[in-house]
Amino acid sequence: MNKKYTIITYGCQMNHHDSERIAYLLESLGYSPEKDLEKSDFIIYNTCLVRENAELKVYGQLGSLKALKKQKPNIIIAVCGCMMQTGNARETIISKYKHVDIIFGTKNISRLPSLIARHRSTGEVVVDIEEADIIDDDTPINRNHPFIAYVNIMTGCNNYCTFCIVPYARGKEISRTPDSIIREIKDLAKRGYKEIILLGQNVNSYGKTLRPKVTFPELLKMVNDIDGIERIRFLTSHPKDCSDELIDAIANLDKVCENIHLPFQSGSNKVLKNMHRVYTREHYLNTIRKLKEKIPNITLSTDIIVGFPGETEEDFKETLSLVKEVEYDQGFTFLYSIRKGTKAAEMKDQIPHEVKQERFQRLIDSMYEIFYKKNKADVGKVLEVLVEGTSKNNPEVLTGRTRGYKLVHFVGGKRNIGHLVNVRITGNNSFALEGEII
């Protein structure tokens, strides 16, 4: 066919993993990847609904493709992902963006070839949204990385945080069977993959829908026993389900990296209650204490929302004080964004944008100072690094990550790419380390 495709992906690692499946399907149809939209024959947007900014970007980019569609009427434009699982966004695309040819959701990616065939045969817009829960989808995957792989262990979420649209877009929580997961990872190990990242909206609650039940720490033990895999990570954990059993698994399983992403969202108990996070500040800090006691070299990252409805200056100061007490190695901060369909969107006392922006700046100033301090403490240490490739800014410099997920830049031969090497840390900034290979 000699046709080309471009996938633009927004959102979380789950969306990027879905795009890997889409890429495989398109290449099985004879398409090859292309970065330049104007040279593409198939353009697909894999969308995110969590933040308003990501949704607005999709609308803006779709609008800009109208002229390209006139120039190349045979080009196929598709939109998929979480935005399409909700009626409002889907109807907006159908009614206002007539040049979009295919619309589908998160649960029927495997049907993409038939959707393309249907559009080609009829010339009409094809809309296919699956509402039923699907988890053991055997669609092969075109991995974006040669030795690091995402593995989906569950989908959906049962937590219904008042700010989050994910349960409405991804559906109820459902877990893959351990046999299916282990079979996929063993295949990855045979193909030379070194690092596995287990994915789920809340990996800590893995296995609750299975009969018999299997806990997430039990699954980690199964993955840890697979020959060939050298590192195991997981995303994302919910503080209410971060059990002592999980903490022991991180401490005792040699392939599980000493790193956890544990979003706290707010340091205020009042705000946490309004968010329906189902834990308190005290519970969260107690979990952090246990992690640091059992795993002294653990690195911590988090998510924080600034400006949730009703957040006072005192509430925000409690968030600042929690950040200073925990001392995170990395963090992701967000201005609260109204998401239609969530309970928080209907709450009174929405915070003015300028107040949110001012608090946001104070928060990141505080966090960047802590990141620098934590990275400075690594100078002089020798750390194990999985070399991922070369720096975007300098092809002579290699880049990789420590077990604690810290980014390291150092000079070395490209033969080291894909291998674990020891690097002595010689310098740092707030976001990365510099070193020399030993």
pLDDT at 141: 83
pLDDT score of 227: 97
Cβ pair 274, 310 in contact under 8 A: yes
CA gap 409, 352 in Å, rounded: 40
* pLDDT attached to residue 430: 96
pLDDT interval class at 340 (50, 70, 90): confident
Average pLDDT over residues 105-109: 86
Tokens 């309004």 belong to 274
- pLDDT band for 131, please (50, 70, 90 cuts): low
CB 407 within 8 A of CB 387: no
Q: Are 287 and 175 in contact (CB under 8 A)?
A: no
Tokens 């609650």 belong to residue:
205
The enclosing H or E element of 95 equals helix 87-96
Return the pLDDT at 341: 86
Three-class DSSP category at 293 = helix
Q: Which helix (H) or strand (E) holds 88?
A: helix 87-96
Tokens found for residue 291: 């992690």
Burial (CB count within 10 angstroms: exposed 0-12, middle 13-18, buried 19+), residue 193: buried
Share of the chain above pLDDT 70, in %: 97
CA distances from 436 to 372, 389, 416 (A): 19, 15, 13
Q: Is the pLDDT of residue 415 over 60?
A: yes
pLDDT of residue 75: 96
313 touches 199 (CB < 8 A): no
234-293 residue pLDDT tens: 999 999 999 999 999 999 999 999 999 999 999 999 999 999 999 999 999 999 999 999
CB 47 within 8 A of CB 11: yes
- Average of per-residue pLDDT values in the chain: 94
- What is the pLDDT at residue 208? 92
Buried b / exposed e along 168-187 (16+ C-beta atoms within 10 A): bbbbebbbbebeebbebbee
Phi and psi at residue 67, in whole multiples of 5°?
-70, -40
Residue 136 pLDDT exceeds 70: no
